[in-house]
Amino acid sequence: MINGERVIKRPLRWGMVGGGRTANVGYKHRQGALRDNTAFELVAGAFDIDPERGKDFGVNIGVTSERCYPDYKTMFAEEAKREDGIEVVTIATPNGTHYEITKAALESGLHVICEKPLFFEVEQGLEMKALAEKMNKIVGVTYGFSGSQLLLQMRQMVKNGDLGDIHMVELQYTHGFGCDAAGDVKSEGQKWRVDPKVAGPSFVLGDLSTHTFYMSELICPDLKLKQILCDRQSFIGSRYPLEDNAYVLMRYENGAVGRLWTSAVNAGCMDGHRIRIIGSKASVEFSDNQPNELIYQVQGEPIRKMIRSMPYLYDECNADERLGALHAEGLIESWANIYLKFAIAIEAKNNGDEETLKNLVYPDLDAGIEGIRWVTKCVESADKGGVWVDFQEINNQEEII
């Protein structure tokens, strides 16, 4: 159970790139990182593409004026000169800039926490992996929905065989806010997401389903994807070739199968994520509009609703509990859990504590790379007409090289 007492020795000095006044997600990063003021302290930022607005904002959230920088390059350079300079930076900018900023941050000796989807190409991910290893830094990815402790409960149930052999993985992350094409023009947050130059080769596959795919890996670490098939659509035609809806079928190495549906045009849907893991004898289901419960269905027994914080949950789950029974947690607790694990990972990396790093369940650089692979292969399958493609190989040439 988390009660706000320090878990690492002292709070890490933290800066942000992006995440300013007009970016909803920036506030989520801060609420997650600063939950207890014992893991991170926000000391610097290049919050906004508009430097004046960025400085005004930074001061308003408590950053000293001189450490509100006009851009990330200046921040990295200036902070590197300070004794009390930042140790870790969060990158909360549009997708197309993640690669260059991550590279610069690592080269500046910073740990990195980056928004998803990480980059556009698996090769970029592998390059950053080599760089991070060389610099002895971690790169974390903010799959912000993946911090719910009930996902760890699911992971433990799978591990302990409560479901029997895993047969199916049913994934959904859909909403309907993309039904109105006007948002593509009017909304700052939406505009770049449907622009291939900034968003990359996909809209909802990258923006939404990378979360869900990671969550499925977190729950079922032993399932290895063998082949996938993707059919994608652009119901709002102007989004083409970026999809606003996609169906994916999965085949795993062990014979398990799965489905994923991601959409911004599931009109009226307010559910967000739904994850159902089906085993030979039972299933377990999570929906993030009911984030305080799991549905556990053993074939032939009454349907069970398991409630967050109750003693019948596994210790691995309740370790991340904060509020106790009858007290609803929400998305921000998920972010807080992830950021706390980033902090633990950073401290462990600094200390060369590989044992801690090995056992820590959090969205690390490998998870980010798998997310890039996911988007890449889905797009490849869809663009070939909705055919089965092998998941692990990027393309034949690469393999040969």
| Residues 108 to 127 in contact with a second copy, rule: CB under 8 A | none
Which amino acid, one-letter code, is at 360?
A: L
Which residue from 81, 302, 355, 401 is in contact with a second copy, where contact means CB under 8 A? 302
Give which of 263, 228, 196 is closest to 386, Cα–Cα. Answer: 228
Q: What gap in Å lies between CA 272 and CA 220, rounded to an integer?
A: 20
Instruction: Please report, as residue ranges, which positions from 154 to 173 form the binding site for a second copy (by CB under 8 A).
Output: 163-164, 167-168, 170
Q: What gap in Å lies between CA 274 and CA 260, rounded to an integer?
A: 10
Instruction: Please report, as residue ranges, which positions from 125 to 144 form the binding site for a second copy (by CB under 8 A).
Output: none
Q: What gap in Å lies between CA 289 and CA 298, rounded to an integer?
A: 23
Q: How far is the CB of 135 from a second copy (least distance, A)?
A: 29
Rule CB under 8 A: say whether 24 interacts with a second copy: yes
Q: How far is the CB of 370 from a second copy (least distance, A)?
A: 22
Which residue from 67, 137, 175, 349 is in contact with a second copy, where contact means CB under 8 A? 175
Which residue from 184, 288, 347, 370 is in contact with a second copy, where contact means CB under 8 A? 288
Take residue 279 and report the two structure tokens written for it: 């085993």
- Nearer to a second copy by Cβ, of 50 and 180: the residue is 180
Which residue from 281, 314, 318, 360 is in contact with a second copy, where contact means CB under 8 A? 281
Continuous H helices in 208-285: 210-219
Instruction: Please report, as residue ranges, which positions from 39 to 98 form the binding site for a second copy (by CB under 8 A).
Output: 57, 60-62
Q: How far is the CB of 155 from a second copy (least distance, A)?
A: 18
Q: How far is the CB of 128 from a second copy (least distance, A)?
A: 28
Which residue from 126, 331, 357, 361 is in contact with a second copy, where contact means CB under 8 A? 331
Which residue from 326, 396, 399, 400 is in contact with a second copy, where contact means CB under 8 A? 326
Distances (CA, A) of 274 to 98, 166, 185, 287, 352: 28, 17, 29, 4, 37
CA 49 centroid distance within chain: 23
- Nearer to a second copy by Cβ, of 95 and 263: the residue is 263
Stretch that binds a second copy, among 4-12, 78-86, 113-121, 352-360 (CB under 8 A): 4-12
Instruction: Say if CB 106 and CB 139 are below 8 A apart.
Output: yes
Q: What gap in Å lies between CA 287 and CA 174, rounded to an integer?
A: 12
Distances (CA, A) of 165 to 8, 129, 254, 278, 314: 38, 33, 10, 8, 19
Q: Which helix (H) or strand (E) holds 317?
A: helix 315-318
Which residue from 49, 126, 198, 306 is in contact with a second copy, where contact means CB under 8 A? 306
Q: What gap in Å lies between CA 194 and CA 244, rounded to an integer?
A: 9
Stretch that binds a second copy, among 104-112, 197-205, 338-346, 381-389 (CB under 8 A): 381-389
Stretch that binds a second copy, among 69-77, 123-131, 135-143, 321-329 (CB under 8 A): 321-329
Rule CB under 8 A: say whether 176 interacts with a second copy: yes
Which residue from 134, 224, 327, 384 is in contact with a second copy, where contact means CB under 8 A? 327
Q: How far is the CB of 367 from a second copy (least distance, A)?
A: 21
Which residue from 51, 70, 96, 386 is in contact with a second copy, where contact means CB under 8 A? 386
- Nearer to a second copy by Cβ, of 134 and 327: the residue is 327
Rule CB under 8 A: say whether 241 interacts with a second copy: no
Rule CB under 8 A: say whether 185 interacts with a second copy: no
Q: What gap in Å lies between CA 218 and CA 333, rounded to an integer?
A: 17
Q: How far is the CB of 177 from a second copy (least distance, A)?
A: 7
Q: What gap in Å lies between CA 92 and CA 332, rounded to an integer?
A: 16
Count of residues in contact with a second copy, rule CB under 8 A: 92
Take residue 213 and report the two structure tokens written for it: 């795919």
Give the number of other CB atoms < 10 A from CB of residue 235.
16
Which residue from 73, 177, 192, 195 is in contact with a second copy, where contact means CB under 8 A? 177
Instruction: Say if CB 148 and CB 286 are below 8 A apart.
Output: yes
Give which of 119, 85, 87, 117 is closest to 100, Cα–Cα. Answer: 119
The residue assigned the tokens 């690592």 is 106
